[in-house]
């Protein structure tokens, strides 16, 4: 459990430091059960910070999407740190970003949040539709949902996000300050969901994906929400040369998703931000988890677990398996 008072006090302390530019955390959302990212620029802003099972966003994305605007003549670029709150899964994004040298370790101040799981907002909304304002708390093995003066308890499993059901790293793997006590691992990942898909025939697989990719609106929410998609010039939207057409049809949509999945092979840290962001409910983690499983089996490699290990695609060992090469 994270003590909110302590969380706010630490945030205040951190933002008061001369070498910190902002603290990125969570604050209550504008409707329903949602929470949203908060950007603390001065101590008073920290008073609205929260942490709850509604804090579903991976804030590590914000470290890498900030535009690098030209600095006016005579001014120095702001080199102060960005402090960011991360759950266990989110912390792996920072490790992977560090592994890829996206920025220096000094650039970030990591505030770790040991996490017992967050909700799948779609499941919450389906269960409690059209609630204008409500709260979610985790008490033991139950989510306590309160709204309009009522309180309901729901078994944790029923509303828990899928990624949390297989979480192996509830406590952040990197942090400068931990905002709560370590959470013991409460789940495991046997990749049985991937095996179900692997067993489908080629035609069945295509039928499955054709339905999903057909409805893709190409809004790029999956890419933009992804903490590992931070190329300044993305191959998927590059205009010259145009590797990927902007046409929205089953062919280009399929190419888009396959290309994105390939670019995340050995890099995806399983935070599920893509799938969560998708307005069309495309199960993007099915793709990412297949790659994740393959990489793990072939190279005994897990992205985002060790900032000292080199990125998978920049390593070569003569012992690398090559039986999958045609």
Tell me the window of 11-19, 65-73, 169-177, 288-296 that interacts with other proteins (CB under 8 A). 65-73
The residue among 61 and 97 lying less far from other proteins, judged by its C-beta, is: 61
The residue from 3, 16, 31, 231 that contacts other proteins (CB under 8 A) is 31
Q: What is the signed CA dihedral for 118, 121, 126, 129, rounded to 10 degrees? A: 110
Question: What number of chain residues touch other proteins (CB under 8 A)?
Answer: 44
Positive or negative, the CA dihedral 162, 48, 13, 94 is positive
Instruction: Determine, following the binding rule CB under 8 A, whether residue 69 of this chain makes contact with other proteins.
Output: yes
Instruction: Determine, following the binding rule CB under 8 A, whether residue 62 of this chain makes contact with other proteins.
Output: yes
The residue among 180 and 283 lying less far from other proteins, judged by its C-beta, is: 283
Q: Which tokens is 99 given?
A: 């592994």
Which helix (H) or strand (E) segment holds residue 259: the answer is helix 250-263
Instruction: Determine, following the binding rule CB under 8 A, whether residue 158 of this chain makes contact with other proteins.
Output: no
Which residues ranging from 198 to 237 are in contact with other proteins (CB under 8 A)?
211-212, 214-215, 217-221, 223-225, 237
How are the residues of the chain apportioned to helix, strand and coil, as percentages rounded to the nearest 5?
A: 35, 15, 50
CB atoms within 10 A of CB 318: 5
Instruction: Determine, following the binding rule CB under 8 A, whether residue 310 of this chain makes contact with other proteins.
Output: no
Give min distance, CB of 312 to other proteins, in A.
26
Q: What are phi and psi of 83, to 5 degrees?
A: -95, 135
Instruction: Determine, following the binding rule CB under 8 A, whether residue 35 of this chain makes contact with other proteins.
Output: yes
Q: Which residues contact 164 (CB under 8 A, 6 or more apart)?
A: 115, 117, 118, 187
The residue from 10, 12, 49, 57 that contacts other proteins (CB under 8 A) is 57
Instruction: Determine, following the binding rule CB under 8 A, whether residue 148 of this chain makes contact with other proteins.
Output: no
The residue among 5 and 130 lying less far from other proteins, judged by its C-beta, is: 130
Strands, E assignment, the chain? 20-28, 35-40, 81-86, 108-112, 134-139, 142-147, 150-155, 177-178
Instruction: Determine, following the binding rule CB under 8 A, whether residue 36 of this chain makes contact with other proteins.
Output: yes
Which residues ranging from 261 to 300 are in contact with other proteins (CB under 8 A)?
273, 276-277, 279-281
The residue from 29, 43, 180, 311 that contacts other proteins (CB under 8 A) is 29
CA distance linking residue 59 with residue 227, whole number of Å = 8
Which residue do the tokens 């504008």 mark? 30
Chain length of the chain: 326
The residue among 44 and 242 lying less far from other proteins, judged by its C-beta, is: 242
Instruction: Determine, following the binding rule CB under 8 A, whether residue 52 of this chain makes contact with other proteins.
Output: no
CB atoms within 10 A of CB 251: 11
Tell me the window of 26-34, 80-88, 182-190, 258-266 that interacts with other proteins (CB under 8 A). 26-34
Q: What are phi and psi of 131, to 5 degrees?
A: -90, 125
53: closest CA among 131, 137, 111? Answer: 137
Binding region for other proteins (CB under 8 A): 29-32, 34-37, 39, 57, 61-62, 65, 67, 69, 130-132, 211-212, 214-215, 217-221, 223-225, 237, 239, 242, 245-249, 273, 276-277, 279-281
């Amino acid at each position: 459990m994270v003590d909110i008072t302590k969380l706010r006090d630490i945030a205040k302390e951190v933002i008061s430091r001369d070498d910190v530019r902002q603290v990125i955390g969570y604050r209550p959302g504008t409707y329903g059960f949602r929470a949203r990212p908060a950007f603390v620029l001065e101590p008073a802003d920290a008073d609205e910070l929260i942490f709850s099972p509604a804090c579903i966003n991976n804030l590590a994305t914000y470290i890498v999407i900030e535009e690098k605007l030209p600095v006016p003549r005579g001014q120095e670029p702001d080199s102060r740190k960005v402090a960011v709150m991360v759950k266990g899964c989110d912390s792996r994004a920072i490790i992977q970003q560090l592994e890829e040298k996206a920025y220096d370790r000094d650039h970030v101040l990591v505030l770790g949040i040991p996490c017992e799981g967050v909700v799948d907002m779609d499941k919450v909304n389906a269960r409690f539709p059209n609630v204008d304002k409500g709260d979610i708390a985790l008490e033991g093995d139950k989510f306590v949902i309160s709204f309009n003066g009522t309180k309901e308890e729901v078994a944790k499993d029923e509303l828990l996000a899928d990624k949390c059901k297989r979480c192996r790293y509830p406590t952040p793997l990197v942090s400068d300050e931990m905002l709560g006590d370590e959470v013991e691992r409460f789940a495991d990942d046997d990749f049985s969901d991937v095996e179900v898909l692997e067993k489908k025939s080629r035609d069945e697989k295509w039928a499955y994906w054709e339905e999903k990719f057909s409805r893709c609106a190409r809004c790029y929410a999956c890419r933009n929400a992804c903490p590992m998609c931070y190329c300044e010039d993305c191959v998927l939207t590059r205009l010259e040369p145009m590797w990927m057409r902007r046409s929205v049809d089953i062919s280009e949509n399929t190419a888009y998703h396959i290309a994105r999945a390939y670019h995340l092979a050995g890099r995806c840290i399983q935070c599920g931000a893509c799938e969560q962001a998708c307005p069309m409910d495309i199960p993007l983690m099915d793709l990412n988890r297949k790659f994740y499983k393959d990489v793990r089996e072939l190279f005994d490699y897990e992205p985002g677990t060790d900032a000292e290990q080199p990125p998978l695609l920049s390593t070569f060992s003569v012992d690398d398996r090559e039986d999958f090469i045609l």
